[in-house]
Amino acid sequence: MAQAVGPEIMPERQPCKGERDLAWRVSCTLRRQQCESASPDAVSGPKACGRLVGMDNPAAEKAPNPWLAMTIDDAREYDERKETYPLRNHVALSRRVAWELILPHLPNDKSLEVLEVGGGTGFWSIRLALEGWRVMLTDPAQGLLDCAREKLLALGLLDKVTIMSADVCDLSAFASESRRLVLAMGDPLSYCGDAVKALREVWRVTQAGGVLIGNVECRYRGIDARRAPSWSDAQRILTEGIGYWPGPHHHLAIQMFTPSEFRSLAESVGWQMQVMRPSDLLLSLVGRELLNDAFARGIDLEELAELELRLGEDPSLLGAGTDIWFVMSKPR
């Protein structure tokens, strides 16, 4: 397995491998800059958007997109949750495995700009910029982009990453066949409201022979308290592939796919599927408690990533992960 190259770590912390180095560097840099200016009135989560509706109420499908209502403070908290134990270790493992999918497809010429759609607060754009690539970071949520800009400024990377507000379903700002590599990490195809339209738009801007790498939410593994607190929610996910976030502020419809469904959808647009893998497979197979025990025992992130990658090669486990990682290409 290729070795991930990480940035310098903070001196006050013992070194560790993998994505935790990058997350720690960004987090500590921003904490130093924000500690004097933190507002006691900072919000505790995404702003309410539209009237509140129940998760099992079809009217929820019409609720406005909560991502678009997020402020920079909401985005900072969103990032913070991912860097707090116990989620931090799980996120680091997931990102380490994802890096193995991305690495072989990065252009040798680092002057070629990578397009990231639905890039949010910029983790992957920052990761690529730290290693020398140029990136166009896009997302429709201004609060998330403002947070990404703040992190890029703190790390001195604004010369490597261009930020643009754009929806994956409308990439009209980009010329046809102008991109060799497009990233859609963090499930933007599940959240965008029209995965077919999004895949067509990315197809249009991708060069022949170019690659799209990303993930979508998996329908089978989505049946837990996070997406299905009631039987009606579970039934809707199984039969329609539509889930919702829990809580009063999260009623954006989420499209959740079976592996065969997503493959067929992508191929109907013209994409050629190269790789499909389950994400967060160890978490799904052994459960959160046992995986936390592995982290507590100090088992190396690389060792866990090796195991997850090996297990992910079993096609019978493709639907067992929380998400479906994919690598697809546009035929020449």
Judged against a pLDDT cut of 50, whether residue 43 lies above it is answered with no
Within a domain: 36: no
Contact by Cβ (8 Å): 65, 252: yes
Summarised one tens digit per residue, pLDDT across range 240-254 is 999 987 665 556 789
Half-sphere exposure of 135 (CA within 13 A, CB side): 30
Summarised one tens digit per residue, pLDDT across range 280-317 is 999 999 999 999 999 999 999 999 999 999 999 999 99
Judged against a pLDDT cut of 80, whether residue 225 lies above it is answered with no
* Predicted local distance difference test score (pLDDT) of residue 212: 98
Q: pLDDT class for 8, splitting at 50, 70, 90?
A: very low
Judged against a pLDDT cut of 60, whether residue 42 lies above it is answered with no
Rounded mean pLDDT of 10-23? 41
Task: Quote the tokens at residue 25.
Answer: 């560097």
When the pLDDT of each residue in the chain is averaged and rounded to a whole number, the result is 84
Within a domain: 134: yes
Q: Domains in the chain: how many in total?
A: 1
**Nearest by Cα to 161 from 192, 127, 134:** 134
Summarised one tens digit per residue, pLDDT across range 161-217 is 999 999 999 999 999 999 999 999 999 999 999 999 999 999 999 999 999 999 999
Task: Quote the tokens at residue 261.
Answer: 């469904």
Distances (CA, A) of 127 to 22, 198, 246, 272, 317: 7, 24, 30, 27, 29
Within a domain: 245: no
Rounded mean pLDDT of 28-34? 47
Within a domain: 53: no
Within a domain: 204: yes
Judged against a pLDDT cut of 60, whether residue 230 lies above it is answered with yes
Domain CATH number, residue 131? 3.40.50.150
pLDDT > 70 in the chain, percent:
79
Query: Radius of gyration (Cα) for the chain, nearest Å?
Result: 19
Model's pTM, two decimal places? 0.82
> Among 7-21, 247-261, 274-288, whose mean pLDDT is lowest?
7-21
* Predicted local distance difference test score (pLDDT) of residue 253: 86
Measured CA angle at 149 (ends 145, 153), to 5 deg: 170
Within a domain: 309: yes
Say which residue, 319 or 60, is predicted with more confidence. 319
Q: What is the total residue count of the chain?
A: 332
* Predicted local distance difference test score (pLDDT) of residue 26: 52
* Predicted local distance difference test score (pLDDT) of residue 85: 72
Q: Which residues pair with 242 in a beta bridge?
A: 255
Say which residue, 163 or 59, is predicted with more confidence. 163
Alpha helices by DSSP H, the chain: 20-34, 72-82, 87-102, 123-130, 142-155, 188-191, 195-205, 231-240, 259-269, 281-286, 288-296, 301-311
Task: Quote the tokens at residue 156.
Answer: 């001195």
* Predicted local distance difference test score (pLDDT) of residue 22: 55
* Predicted local distance difference test score (pLDDT) of residue 248: 59
* Predicted local distance difference test score (pLDDT) of residue 40: 36
Within a domain: 231: no
Within a domain: 118: yes
* Predicted local distance difference test score (pLDDT) of residue 83: 85
Distances (CA, A) of 269 to 188, 201, 255, 266: 17, 10, 17, 5
**Domain limits at 123?**
20-26+59-218+255-329
